[in-house]
Every structure is written in C-alpha cells, then in structure tokens.
Amino acid sequence: MERFDVIVIGFGKGSKVLTSALAAQGRRVALVEKSDKMYGGTCPNVGCVPTKFLVNRAEMARIKGFASFEEKAAFYAQSIRDKKELREKILSKMFNTFGGNPNITLYTGTAKFVSPKEIEISGKDFTAAITADKIVIDTGSVPFIPPIEGLKECRCAYVSEGMLDLERLPKRLVVIGGGNIGLEFASFYRQFGSEVTVLQDLPEFFPNEDADVAAAVRETLAGQGIELVAGAKVLSVKNEGEGAVVRYAAGGEEKEAKCDAVLVSTGRVPNTRELNLGAAGVETTSRGTIAVDERMRTTASGIWAIGDVAGSPQFTYISQDDARIVMDDFKGGGRTSAGRNVPYSVFLAPPLSRVGLTEKAALAEGYKIKTAVIPVTGLPRSHVLGKYTGMLKAVVDADSGLILGAALYCEESHEMINIVTLAMNEKLSYTVLRDMIFTHPVMSEALNDLFAAIK
Ligand SMILES: Cc1cc2nc3c(=O)[nH]c(=O)nc-3n(C[C@H](O)[C@H](O)[C@H](O)COP(=O)(O)OP(=O)(O)OC[C@H]3O[C@@H](n4cnc5c(N)ncnc54)[C@H](O)[C@@H]3O)c2cc1C
Ligand SMILES: NC(=O)c1ccc[n+]([C@@H]2O[C@H](COP(=O)([O-])OP(=O)(O)OC[C@H]3O[C@@H](n4cnc5c(N)ncnc54)[C@H](O)[C@@H]3O)[C@@H](O)[C@H]2O)c1
C-alpha cells in the first residue's frame, strides 16, 4: 500500500490550495478526484465561473436589445457554446495545475475509507489502496431534490449543472427555490429573453435582509419582468408536449405555470455518500454535514473536513479559508473558523452584496445602533454607467463606532463589499471609510457618502 504524508479527497478550491501549499513544504500528497470532468471542483466547472460568465453574456444580450425571440435564442445558444469551450480550457488548466510536481499524485477515482488511515480508490480502469496519517475531506455538496410529484419524470426539469448546458433558450422558465442559484438564474435568463417565474416556499424572498433592502431588490426584479411568488407550495410537475406544467398553491389558490424548462434550485446537501465514513469513525450532524470543530477537525483523529461537506457557508472562498485553517492546524497554530466575517454577493442586475449583521439582527443581538441608507441615484458613477437602481445600507455600533454590517445593492457592489469587510476585519471605525480618499468616479466612493449619513 502506497504511503503519503497527506491524502486529500475531492479536488475543490480548498484542496487545490492545500495540496499546492503542502507539496511546496516538501510533503507527499495524494489528491483524489472522482470525475475527470471536475478537476477544480464545482466553482470553475459548474458553479461560480460558468454562471457569472452567463451573467455577463446576459447583460450583453440586454444591451444588444434583440427584437425577436429567435435572435435572443441564437445569442443565448452561442453563449452556452462559448461557456462549454471555457470549461474545457479551465479543466485542462486545472488538470495541469500540479503537472510535474513530484510531491503530488493525482488519482482520478472515487475515494472511500477502509479504516481511519486507509483509502480505497476506484477509478475507470484501476483500483488503488493508499494510506496517510493525515486525511482531509473536501467532497463538496450536491443538489437537494424535493419530493415533488412528477418531478423525477419531468423531461425538461434540470438542476443548475444541467441547465448550464441547455442550448435551447426556454421561452418560459419556472424556477423552484428562490435562493442564490434560483435568483441568479432567474435574473440572467430574464435578460437573455425568457419569461421567468420563481416559486419560493418561504413567505418571503431575501429573508436574511432587512425589509427595506428586500423590498428594493424584489421591486427591481419585478420591474425587470420576473414573477416572484413567495409562500408557494409546489404540488406537481407534469410533462406536457416538449414542456411541463407546474402546479402550485399560493395565497390560498391553486395555480398552474406552463413552461419549457424547470430549474430546481432548492439547496445543496453535503456529499458524503460514497465515503464510507463509518469505517473511519467520522461522525455527521443532523443536517448530514461532517461534524467539525473550529479547526475543521472531524470526530476522528487525523481527519479534517473543509468546504460545503463540512457545513461551512457554501462559497468558494470559504472552502479556501477552511484550507488555510487546516494548514495552520498542521503547524500547531490557532486560526479558527469562529467569528469569520463572510461577505457574499448575489449576482443579480445590479448585484446584492452583504457582510455582517442586518439592522434587525443587530437589534436582536442587543446592540445600540446607528444606521444609514442612501439611494444610488446621484452618485457620479451612476451617471457614468447610466444605471440608477439600488440603495446602500450600513449598520454601526453606536458605542464603539465599529461597522456591524452592510447591504450594498448597486452596480459593482461585488467589489465594494470587500472594502467594507476589510474595515470590519481590521476593526476600523466607520469614520475611516467616511473620510477615506477614493479615486473618482468609482462606485466605492459611495462609501464616503454612506458612512457620512450615519445617524
Ligand atoms: C450554480 C452555482 C453557482 C455558484 N456560484 C457561486 C459564486 O458565485 N460564488 C461562490 O463563492 N460560490 C458559488 N457557488 C458555491 C461554490 O461553488 C461552492 O460552495 C464551492 O465550490 C464548494 O467547494 P468545495 O471545495 O467544498 O467542494 P467542490 O468544489 O464541490 O469539490 C468537491 C469535489 O469532490 C469530488 N468528490 C466527491 N466525492 C468524492 C469521492 N468520494 N472521491 C473523490 N472525489 C469526490 C467532486 O467530484 C468535486 O469535484 C455556486 C454553486 C453553484 C452550484
Ligand atoms: N453568488 C454566490 O455566492 C452563489 C451563487 C449561487 C449559489 N451559491 C451557493 O450555493 C448554495 C446553494 O444554492 P441554492 O440556491 O440551491 O440554495 P439556497 O439554500 O440558497 O436556496 C434554496 C431555496 O429554495 C427554497 N426551497 C427549498 N425547497 C423548496 C420547495 N420545495 N419549493 C420551493 N422552494 C423551496 C428554500 O427556502 C431556499 O430559499 C447556496 O447556499 C450558496 O451559498 C452561491
């Protein structure tokens, strides 16, 4: 049995960072990835990169202003083909990432535990048994499919991965689930030219935002022609010709939505199915995620878990940060996942970006707060871009002057939010951003105005 210093299971973002860093320290690492279509993991292949590529293309489609559906469909089909080409490029770059590094062995096969220190790998035309004293699990998550009548049989129902390869632009799209995936797809399909309905089971969209921010985003999406139905119970999905009929109950009524495609975006669950965790003594939580402590250690000594499978917030940069924590733990350091500020952006048009507490959450936590809300209209950058949609909101601790959180709903907010996060991480008073010199005309200078409005 071949012995390594570290075995890493799953080639996600965290694994990539971890494998490179460990090999650079002279450790022998085995990286096991089950699919030759998934080197690099979800993000570059079927997650962040392809979806944001399409967000960008959808904006181009909107600007081009095609008159007919046929023209829109042709531009969309070309965008999907270009996305497929991009994936091939990224895949081969990922495959070659470790090329020639004598400290790294990449296995393409499914890993399963045989004991706490031994892994069996089943590839297309080989099996292998390997061992190490340290093992890191980074096997990500898979879509959750709700038990809706007829959904499994529906010929035009997709999860995000399948939808990303669909070359036929649906005239009408029904999205089940109004979270990050559902709303991003709704937004870019609408811009490509589809009619879109989003069915959300919760009584509201953006439940983690303050009411004013949620209302601003909802109104914009509705203004763009996206039908948002909250409190919807999806009853059945049935094939009808080339398309489908989705039956749902909302507002005390039963309704039908006919469509050419159904996107199921109802959350993602940890991917532990093939790991045989029991053989390693690795326990899972009631949510099915691998139970880890703040250093990403599992319940089995010598085994760590990172990213989606460990129940961390489902973002690529968190898989990466979890890997940093494990690296630090290997060195005996004290870095932990506790109290991390986790910013995020939902790539709508414009994007909604958040970090930290909302006003309602800060009050619920007992803070004495000051807040500011400013509109996007009137900002110099808005005039440059000709885009006036959105608002910015910040919440500050009245006692210390520290920033507790911000929601930035405007063009380029996906860049700006990182500046606010930096200020929060470094425990800077809000006055630092209020008085900082920004270049001009850029969206970030709105942070001067936002924090000047704190009352
Ligand atoms: C459509 C979509 C859009 C997204 N957009 C964004 C975004 O804009 N920004 C953002 O930050 N996040 C986004 N995310 C979330 C982000 O992609 C994930 O949180 C992130 O990729 C998780 O990384 P990971 O390292 O945990 O796992 P993954 O990247 O999923 O890697 C896990 C790997 O393990 C492999 N594997 C599984 N089981 C085994 C086994 N038994 N043996 C060997 N290999 C195995 C899998 O094939 C996979 O390659 C998006 C996700 C989706 C689906
Ligand atoms: N921009 C980004 O960073 C980005 C983009 C896409 C995805 N992601 C990550 O991927 C993860 C998965 O995304 P997601 O959108 O699938 O999950 P999600 O948890 O964000 O949203 C799922 C939504 O589906 C709803 N839902 C569940 N069952 C339903 C049903 N039967 N009928 C109607 N609605 C139902 C839930 O209430 C929830 O609002 C997210 O947690 C996110 O972290 C991130």
Res 97: pLDDT: 87
Residue 441's CATH number: 3.30.390.30
Which residue owns the Cα nearest ligand 1 atom 12? 315
Ligand 1 centroid, distance to 164 Cα (angstroms): 15
Ligand 1 centroid, distance to 308 Cα (angstroms): 7
For the stretch 32-82, pLDDT in tens is 999 999 999 999 999 999 999 999 999 999 999 999 999 999 999 999 999
State the pLDDT confidence band at 451, using cuts at 50, 70 and 90.
very high
For the stretch 290-334, pLDDT in tens is 999 999 999 999 999 999 999 999 999 999 999 999 999 999 998
Which residue owns the Cα nearest ligand 1 atom 3? 47
Distance, C-alpha 323 to centroid of its chain: 17
For residue 440, indicate whether it is catalytic: yes
For the stretch 223-257, pLDDT in tens is 999 999 999 999 999 999 999 999 999 999 999 99
Can you tell me the distance from the alpha carbon of 437 to that of 421, in angstroms, rounded to the nearest whole number? 17
Percent share of the chain, pLDDT over 90 = 98
Are 322 and 403 found together in one domain? Answer: no
Q: How do beta strands 391-397 and 403-409 pair?
A: antiparallel
Which residue owns the Cα nearest ligand 1 atom 45? 10
Is residue 150's pLDDT more than 90?
Answer: yes
Mean pLDDT of 151-158: 98
**For the chain, what is the domain count?**
3
CB of 232 closer than 8 Å to CB of 204: no
Q: Which of 124, 287, 331, 440 is catalytic?
A: 440
Helix 180-192 to helix 211-223 angle (10° resolution) is: 30
Q: Which two tokens stand for residue 211?
A: 């009411």
For the stretch 383-396, pLDDT in tens is 999 999 999 999 99
Average pLDDT, the chain: 97
Strand partners, 347: none
State the pLDDT confidence band at 378, using cuts at 50, 70 and 90.
confident
Are 161 and 86 found together in one domain? Answer: no
Ligand 2 centroid, distance to 183 Cα (angstroms): 9
For the chain, percent helix, then strand, then coil, each to nearest 5?
35, 30, 40
Q: What is the pTM of this model?
A: 0.98
Res 99: pLDDT: 80
Q: Which two tokens stand for residue 125?
A: 């035309």
Residue 196's CATH number: 3.50.50.60
Structural domain contains residue 415: yes
Ligand 2 centroid, distance to 350 Cα (angstroms): 19
CB under 6 Å to ligand 2: residues? Answer: 146, 176-182, 184, 199-202, 234, 265-268, 314-315, 344-347
Res 98: pLDDT: 87
Structural domain contains residue 336: no
Are 248 and 164 found together in one domain? Answer: yes
- The domain containing residue 427 runs over which residues? 344-452
DSSP 13-29: HHHHHHHHHHHHTT--E
Are 65 and 128 found together in one domain? Answer: yes
Can you tell me the distance from the alpha carbon of 92 to that of 97, in angstroms, rounded to the nearest whole number? 9
Are 179 and 291 found together in one domain? Answer: no
Can you tell me the distance from the alpha carbon of 385 to that of 446, in angstroms, rounded to the nearest whole number? 14
Are 421 and 358 found together in one domain? Answer: yes
Which residue owns the Cα nearest ligand 2 atom 1? 346
Are 118 and 174 found together in one domain? Answer: no
State the pLDDT confidence band at 337, using cuts at 50, 70 and 90.
very high
CB under 6 Å to ligand 1: residues? Answer: 9-14, 32-35, 38, 41-43, 47-48, 51-52, 110-111, 138-140, 160, 181, 271, 274-275, 307-309, 314-317, 319
Strand partners, 352: 346, 409
Residue where the block lists tokens 């070659």: 96
Mean pLDDT of 405-412: 98
Closest atom of ligand 2 to CA, residue 347: 1
Are 384 and 431 found together in one domain? Answer: yes
Mean pLDDT of 390-410: 98
Q: How do beta strands 172-176 and 261-264 pair?
A: parallel
